[in-house]
Structure formats: C-alpha cells, structure tokens
Homo-oligomer: A and B are copies of this chain.
Amino acid sequence: MANPVGVPPGSPRRRDAQATRRRLLEAAADLFAERGYDAATVRDIADRAGANQALLFRYFGSKSGLLTEVMAHSGQEQLRTTPPEKLFETTLRGMLTHHGKEPHDRSLAVYLRSVGGADDAAETVKVLGEQYADVLATLSGAEDAALRADLAMAWLLGIGMMRVVVGREPLASAHPDEVCELVLGLLRRLLEGVPAPEGAVPPESGER
C-alpha cells in the first residue's frame, strides 16, 4: 500500500497516493449524489475507486471526513469558478435547488447539520465560510464590509438550515426564483453599505 507519510513529494509512491486519494473523493462524490450519504457505504466507495477501505480511513479518517472533503472540494470549485458578484446568488440557488428531499441532496443536509458540531466537518464549514465571506466582503465598499459579509453568510446559512434541515414551510417548497427575488435585492443593499441618496433607491421588486 502506498503510504503518503514520509514519502518525498513528487516520488512515484507519493503520486500514487495522491491519485488514490483523488479517486476516492470522486467515487464518494458520485455515490453520495447517487444514493445519498447514508446509503453510500465505505465499502462501495472504496470499491468504485479501486482502492482499499483501509486507505480510505487512512486518508479521510471516517466517512464523514470524506463528506467534508467532498463538500469542501465543491465549495472551493464554486469559489474558483464563480465571479464574486455572482457568488451569493449561485450559492443560494444551489441551496434552493437542492430541496433535501431527493436522496442525492442528503449530503447538503448532512453538511448543514454539521455546522453546530465540534469535529472536522464543522471546522471545514468554518474555513469555507470564511473564504466565501472574504469574497463577499470585496463587493462592499463600506467600512464594515467584513461584518456585512458575515451577515450575508448568516442569511445563506439560515436559509439552508430552515429549508433543507428543518424543512420549514412555506420556505421549504418556495420557488427558487421567488426566494431569490426577496433576498437578492436586500442583500445588494446590505453589501452596498453606503446609504443611497433619497429618490435614487430603486424599489425591491423588479430589480432583477
């Protein structure tokens, strides 16, 4: 078995380990999406990756550690590929489209549930949230841009919790467009920070 610890970077064994790690992540992402987090077993993931279960545990610690990395990876990908001014809307729409009702949405629910925890998943949520908030803060010219970005993140998190985890109605079944229309206009105001001169403030509706 390839052991990434103590193996010099760039060596064939290290490259093998990284390839195996990547295959495990991809297999996990696929199986979580296909079957949901609970139904995707560690054995299935290792089998699909053509890797040993022991390696899975060595690299990721546990199945939830694997989920954390899968989610962190997709979060990083979204951060990398989304223009800052579209980041909030893209993330919100992603959350709204994943109702948490279909099996493949379970991972978002598991992820949101983990926010309150004290484990690695919670730490990843925190780090990812910080990176998102840093990008959102660049959109605001206000002195308290970082605080405004935190409050925007808080809303995103709260909407995810209420919709996906708590299943609160009518929010849980509301059309994504309807939610976006209500949230995005206010969010822009929150991030803009500078109070608009009277008469120059467009109404909320019809802004999009």
Contacts and interface: CB of A to CB of B under 8 A. Distances in A.
A179 interface: yes
A150 interface: yes
A156 B189 CA distance: 18
A133 interface: yes
B158 A146 contact: no
Contact of A171 (B147, B156, B198): B147
Contacts of A169: 150
Given A115-B161, A199-B199, 20 more contacts: A115-B166, A116-B165, A126-B168, A129-B162, A130-B168, A144-B182, A147-B170, A147-B174, A150-B171, A153-B158, A155-B155, A156-B158, A157-B158, A157-B161, A182-B190, A195-B205, A195-B206, A197-B203, A198-B199, A201-B201
Interface of A: 112-117, 122, 125-126, 129-130, 133, 144, 146-148, 150-151, 153-159, 161-163, 165-166, 168-171, 174, 178-179, 182-183, 186, 189-190, 195-199, 201-206
27 contacts: A113-B116, A113-B117, A115-B116, A115-B165, A116-B116, A122-B166, A126-B168, A129-B162, A129-B168, A144-B178, A144-B182, A147-B170, A147-B179, A147-B182, A150-B169, A150-B170, A151-B159, A151-B182, A154-B158, A154-B161, A154-B162, A156-B158, A158-B161, A161-B161, A189-B204, A195-B205, A198-B201
The 8 closest A-B pairs by CB, nearest first: A158-B158, A195-B203, A113-B116, A154-B158, A150-B171, A195-B205, A201-B201, A157-B158
